[in-house]
Amino acid sequence: MVNARTYPLWRELAMSEDLPKEALKTVIGALCAPPMARNGFDAQADRWREEALKEALPALLARTSAKRLRGQLLLHTDERTLAALAADGTVTVADVPAILRHRRIWAGLVSALAWHPGQVEAAIALLPRLSYHEADKVIDEWDPDRYTRPKNAAPAPPVPPELFDAVLEACLTPLAAYLLHPEPEEGWEALSTYPKDWSLQLGGRTGWAMLARCPQRWAQLTAHPSLGAAVQHLLLDCAETQAFQEARPHAAAPAGQELRTDPAPALSEDLLRACLPALCLPELADLPHARVTARRSLHHIAQRVYNNPRLAGLAADQLHATADALVARGQLLSWADKQEDDYEFDGRVLRLAEDLALLSANPDHLAAACAQLARLDQPAVVSPTSSRTLRRILGNSAPDHDRPARLLERHWEHRRVQALSALAANPHTPRIAVADVLNCLHPAELAWIAEGADVPDWLVAAAAAAEVPEGEADGVVRLLDDEELSKHPEPAAVLQSWLDSPATGEILSRSEVYRAVVKSRYRTLEHLLQIPADEILAGHEPDIALQILLERCGRSTDRWAALAAAVTFDYDDQEITFGQLLDSLDGAPARAHTS
């Protein structure tokens, strides 16, 4: 056992040029052996040992050629230090077997080894040991000191072209292999209603991090015999998106200059044409679960056209035929009533309408998409009660925040009319199918169309002519504070009208309605009994329920126990009202506690 106080001595011995070769084994053993105290392992002393070893390591490795002794030193060295030693040539490919006995390979070591021309081939041979999502880090971490290197220090060598090519191939190969055999992954059935697009699969195997580094080679790579399809998919999915992100202003423009907002296209027309074989996801056309795969494929293709609008002209026939085939294969326009626990139902209908508006030229399909929009539930448009917080947020910059169209957007409830406007803009959509939907819209949705900047003129005129049901006015549920309620002859009736409104059935609005009722001094017990129990018990006003529960449960231990059992509901449990909760306590016998 080495005395912890002697570590500085062993460090100085290790770094001394006069240390004889015969002493290396002893010095290395002393610096590598964990210190032990009378009561067991000494963590503080071990930190001192690690610091001493780290300082002495370059000198020891430079003087030690025996594999066993070098392996002992490498075992006690952290990854960052090993990579730094590999970069300066102290650790070489000959040490890799010893390193791999105790560690898996990492990108930083591969990069450091490849700094030396004679080791590039060996470094490339290590790439298959990296997971596919780590391979690009070999290039990304090529120069880990680029931000901290002193001005007078030598720069990192350039990346060897053969290493770059090998890493590029390693990053693209997993996606290329998936496209050859695109079988659903384990757990597919559980994802059958997943609302997202195919990026769950394609993005997980992306080589974009490497492909983005060599735009000058994109045209050549799209024609690669084994990687070309993967390159085409990645360019369609990622190139324009990254160009837009890079063009976003990160700082104020210099005086007299405008900020760049619309970037030049990342893909030329020739490149887009080269990517057309991958545009409509032909590799995924025959996957099982047709209803799900067709919907997700259609949405992914639509996103590509949205990101690359020129595709709508370059591949119009291809897109129209694919949209028709996917609708037929997945039976996407067959209506199924909304299930109570299907929270993604509206989103699927809206995405389908938007995707068909962009891709389809089939009047029957476009008319059916309009009909589906008409069958969606009405939005719940609520104007919140006035509050200091709201005034502080809005200030004087948004005096029109209470307009129906603005209120509709507040909870993203304008999606239906937005999709309808997109369908109306498609010249193949029958206008009568769009006009039929107008009769089903909420007044606030009609107001949104009237104010829409990208809405076709004929649709604006049709919406203005649509009749609003008598008594609905603008269709907004306006929540009032008590000062405003006091001017009404029957404040309690106003509160009841809020609870009876369709807004209380919409998840984004109902809490606002319930909160306004609970906080009003005009509320009655009858109002509270209609509100969900968790809004009363778990809200910000627990004292409201306190007196009611004290009176209902009294001195009955059974009722208090029944209350404790009743309030263990979770988020996914069936919602019960406060009245139902109180009624459930009545089933417990009124047995008083006796001491």
pLDDT of amino acid 508: 60
Evaluate whether 525 touches 531 at the Cβ level (below 8 Å).
no
Q: Is the distance from CB of 223 to CB of 372 less than 8 angstroms?
A: no
**Which pLDDT score, from 0 to 100, does residue 341 have?**
75
Per the model's pLDDT, the better-predicted residue between 251 and 56 turns out to be: 56
pLDDT of residue 471: 53
pLDDT mean across residues, the chain: 84
- Indicate if the pLDDT at residue 426 is higher than 70: yes
CA dist., res. 70 & res. 66, Å (int)? 6
Distance CA 267, CA 231 (A): 13
- Compute how many other C-beta atoms are within 10 angstroms of the C-beta atom of residue 592: 10
Cα 592 from Cα 595, distance rounded (Å)? 10
- Determine which of 188-202, 374-388, 419-433 has the lowest per-residue pLDDT on average: 188-202
More confident residue, 224 or 465: 224
Return the percentage of the chain with pLDDT > 90, whole number: 42
pLDDT of residue 247: 72
Per-residue H/E/C for 296-320: HHHHHHHHHHHHCCCHHHHCHHHHH
- Cα distances from 263 to residues 246, 258, 301, in angstroms, run 8, 13, 22
Residue 261 is predicted with a pLDDT of: 57
- DSSP code, position 143: -
Confidence of residue 589 (pLDDT cuts 50, 70, 90): low
The type of residue at 456 is: P
Tens of pLDDT, residue by residue over 536-585, are: 887 666 788 888 899 889 888 989 988 888 887 665 556 788 999 898 88
Mind listing the pLDDT tens digit for each residue in 484-526? 999 999 999 999 988 888 777 666 667 888 888 988 999 999 9
CA distances from residue 82 to 56, 91, 92, 93, 146 in whole angstroms, order as listed? 13, 7, 10, 12, 18
**Cα 585 to Cα 563: distance, rounded to the nearest angstrom:** 7
pLDDT tens figures, 269-318: 999 999 999 999 999 888 888 888 899 999 999 999 999 999 999 999 99
Reported pTM? 0.79
Question: Per mean pLDDT, which of 32-36, 405-409, 422-426, 459-463 is the most reliable?
Answer: 422-426
Q: What tens digit of pLDDT does each residue of 159-177 get? A: 999 999 999 999 999 899 9
Neighbours of 27 (CB within 10 A): 21
The pLDDT of residue 420 is 97
Three-class SS state of 208: helix
Distance between CA atoms of residues 99 and 78, nearest Å: 11
Query: Which of the pair, 13 or 544, is modelled with greater confidence?
Result: 544
Q: How confident is the model at residue 262 (pLDDT cuts 50, 70, 90)?
A: low
Residue entry with tokens 């929009």: 373
The alpha carbons of the chain give a radius of gyration, in whole angstroms, of 34
Place of tokens 């539930």: 377
> β-strand 382-383 against 477-478: which pairing, if any?
parallel
pLDDT digits (tens, 9 = 90+) for 435-476: 999 989 989 899 999 887 789 999 999 988 886 665 556 778
d(C-alpha 586, C-alpha 79), whole Å: 67
Is the pLDDT confidence value at 81 over 80? yes
